[in-house]
Amino acid sequence: MTQDNENKVSVQTSSDKMESYLVLQQGMDPAEITVEFVTAVVLSHAIQQSSTLPKRIQDAIGSYKTHDFSQVNPMRALIAEGRRPVDGDDESFELSHELQVVYEQSRRSVVERETEPENLGEDSDAEQLDFRERSAFMIVKSGQRVGVIRKATQGTDGIDVCGNNVPAKPGKASSTKIDSNSLERHEDGCIFAKVAGRLVFERDKISVSPTLEIHGHVDFSTGNIDFPGSIVISQGVRDGFVVQSGKSIAVGGLVEAAELVSGRDIALRVGMAGRGKGKIFAGRDLNTTYLDACDCRVGRDLTVENDINDCNVIVTRNMVSPSATLLCGEIAVLGKCELAQVGTPTGSRAVMTLGRVPEFDVMISEALGIINKCRARAMDCLNKIAELNDDPDSSSTKAELLTQLQFEAAEHEGKVQVLTESISAAIAATELESPRLTIHRRLCHNAEIRVAGLSAVLLQDIEGPIEISLDGEGQLICKDLGDGTQVMLGIYAEIEKAAGSFTPDDLPEALKKAA
């Protein structure tokens, strides 16, 4: 090959030495361009020999013959490629599949949930439920696998077109810390929750918080809440949402027609406006400013600062609310009860049940009915047995009938005993002390006081402070806490047996003492 042609053949290598190109200038006789010559030129540039190099050089020479130099000059053909290094992966935390689904769902729907979905009327329950059931939080149980730490990898080294090793960058250790108080890392990298709560990613730390703090309302931005620990809500709870806590709930704003359920205490800084749909279930104490049009079940004590209006409330222990007024509705308190006022000057229907709850009265009344029926059946069997014993007939048929009647009589008496013991235990568990109602300001006319199966409907207002209780004879008395005098409540009220209730006189002798 002439010197001129030799000058028209060269090699260009990229700066990172990962690609080399054969460069052929215009004007050479294709017949003079041989594989041997071009290979020598390539190898003179320290390009490593490879199994693909001859084929690529041959293809480049073939392309030269048909190349259109009027469009591209010179012609460049790739003849050698290096293998780029693969850098190592950094250490990382990977959520478990079920938590990843929750995470992606909450991120995907955050925009659509910022505003209550349109066209969700009263008849759109299914669609409303779908939006409300979307949790915005990753809630974990104690012992649950929450994810895994993927260790950093070293990566794979590369090689350039000259055959030189190109080292890979190893992955970096993560700066993210796993909170050892709430999370446990196993040898295989798996991370498990040591406590129940909300999985939290905060800056460079992953932890489980036993308290769920909501900086705003419980609404479509959060979905319904079901949390094993305590819940603190800075604002309120919107209509139709459910907040459940294994421990306590504190709400800083208004609770609308929602449902609150706690294993321990509930504290409402404002109160609930339930519109007839709101519900509260407190495992221990409930403290609130006011209650309106809702159902409440309190496992221990209830404290209300202001009004209770159109509610159905059951308190298992005491209600100490000396500044509160029961405007209308019903409250049942098993222990002592203290209020400012019951009823209104207009005579609204306000019912205070002391020492029992309506469900308890219904249960006892039904059980007493069953006892009476069983005893009647047992007595009927005994009468038939007496008649048969007076009959001189001694046939086998008579003996079989006597045996059957004796069995039935014993069976009915056994039921009576079981029911009697159950009622006795129920009465002992609920009526732990003498019912007592303290009124500081006024007990209004038409207010109703139910105690020990008796109903007292006030015929006139009674100014406080007064105390309503039972005397030793089981009669309702009213004590003036100002001067200590007491009179029979019947002077101010119409007293009769409460409908659907029972009095000690209704009980068998075995239960009267317990009642």
94 and 206 Cβ atoms separated by less than 8 Å: no
pLDDT per position as a tens digit, 106-162: 665 554 545 555 454 444 444 444 556 666 788 888 899 999 988 899 999 999 999
Return the SS3 of 307: strand
Helix (H) or strand (E) holding 406: helix 396-430
Q: Which of 209, 243, 265 is the last residue of a domain?
A: 209
pTM over 0.85: no
Q: Do 76 and 135 fall within a single domain? A: no
* Type of residue numbered 342: V
State whether 370 and 395 are in the same domain: yes
Question: Structural domain of residue 63, as residue ranges?
Answer: 3-81
Q: Are residues 248 and 293 in the same domain?
A: yes
| Non-local CB neighbours of 398 within 8 Å, separated by 6+ positions | 388, 391
**Nearest-angstrom CA–CA distance, 364 and 357:** 11
Host H or E run for residue 487 = strand 486-488
- H or E segment at 139? strand 139-140
Whether the CB-CB separation of 200 and 183 falls below 8 Å is answered with: no
Same domain, 374 and 266: no
Distance of alpha carbon 60 from alpha carbon 105, whole angstroms: 54
Bridge partner list, 243: 225, 260
Q: Residue 337: what are its φ and ψ, rounded to 5°?
A: -135, 135
Asked whether residue 248 is assigned to any structural domain, the reply reads yes
Taking only the tens place, the pLDDT of each residue in 205-245 is 899 999 999 999 999 888 899 999 999 999 999 999 999 99
Is residue 393, in this structure, part of any structural domain at all?
yes
The closest alpha carbon to 468, from 496, 446, 445, 440, belongs to 440
pLDDT tens profile 371-387: 888 888 888 988 888 88
Average pLDDT over residues 307-324: 95
**Count of positions (residues) in the chain:** 515
Residues 224 and 288 in one domain: yes
pLDDT the model gives residue 98? 84
Lowest mean pLDDT among 125-134, 399-408, 434-443: 125-134
The candidate with the shortest Cα–Cα distance to 161, out of 332, 15, 35, 359, is 15
DSSP-based three-state secondary structure for 408: helix
- % of the chain surpassing 70 pLDDT: 87
Q: Check whether residue 181 and residue 107 sit in a common domain.
A: yes
Query: Which of 103-117, 391-405, 450-464, 472-486 is predicted least confidently?
Result: 103-117
Task: Report the distance separating Cα 71 and Cα 54, nearest Å.
Answer: 27
Looking at 430, 450, 478, the residue that finishes a domain is 430
Element (H, E) at 462: strand 462-463
pLDDT per residue as tens digits for the range 258-288: 999 999 999 999 999 999 999 999 999 999 9
**Given pLDDT bands bounded at 50, 70 and 90, which one contains residue 514?**
very low
Concatenated DSSP letters for 99-113?
HHHHHHHHHHTTTTT
Task: Evaluate whether residue 164 is within a structural domain.
Answer: yes
Q: Closest by alpha carbon to 302, among 276, 251, 274, 337?
A: 337
Which residue among 209, 234, 256 closes a domain? 209
Token digits for 69?
């130099």
With respect to residue 254, please indicate whether it lies within any of the assigned structural domains.
yes
- Identify whether 495 is part of a domain: no
Look at the chain and report how many structural domains it folds into: 4
The pLDDT confidence band at residue 452, using thresholds 50, 70 and 90, is confident
- Is the confidence at residue 424, as pLDDT, over 80? no
